[in-house]
Amino acid sequence: MTTLQKGDKAPNFSGNDQDGNQHNLADYKGQKLVVFFYPKADTPGCTAEACDLRDNFERFKANNYALLGVSADSAKAQSKFKNKYEFPFPLLADEDKSVITAFGVWGPKKFMGREYDGIHRTTFIINEEGLIDEVITDVKTKAHASQILK
């Protein structure tokens, strides 16, 4: 699982969002970036998490934060999810799992006694210089914004 820690240099990722626009770490230099990984678009926990971030988006903007959601869903699924809930931030469609793997959030999971590989719900807060300020692995889906904006 995640080996990245506070103080590490953030992976130099590159991925496309729901509209096919490319996003790279370098695009966010000079501002803080919240990269939140979630298992699957439009599922209860992921919806609660993304909606909490959406509802606090103005607070993030006021504190110089950009937000970027990432899952292995298709661009079409991400677009549907973004439009349904009117998210003001992009969602990367990381179908080849290149960004997910770079951040180390892909690995074994357990659900209802079944083991499988999947995305671990994890959030990385990256500072203006591209260093990781915080890694949140115990994400509170309904109060995630307050975990980030302490």
CA diameter of the chain: 44
Residue 1, domain member (yes or no): no
Question: Domain count of the chain?
Answer: 1
Tell whether 4 is covered by a domain: no
CATH code where residue 25 lies:
3.40.30.10
In a domain, 5, yes or no: no
- Residue 50: inside a domain: yes
Tell me whether residue 46 is one of the annotated catalytic residues: yes
25, 34, 46, 102: which is the annotated catalytic residue? 46
Assigned domain for 137 exists: yes
Residue 98, in any domain of the structure: yes
Residue 7 lies in a domain: no
**pTM for this prediction:** 0.96
> pLDDT tens per residue, the chain (150 residues)?
668 999 999 999 999 999 999 999 999 999 999 999 999 999 999 999 999 999 999 999 999 999 999 999 999 999 999 999 999 999 999 999 999 999 999 999 988 899 999 999 999 999 999 999 999 999 999 999 999 998
Q: In the block, which residue shows the tokens 């609660």?
A: 48
Show the domain range for 92: 14-148
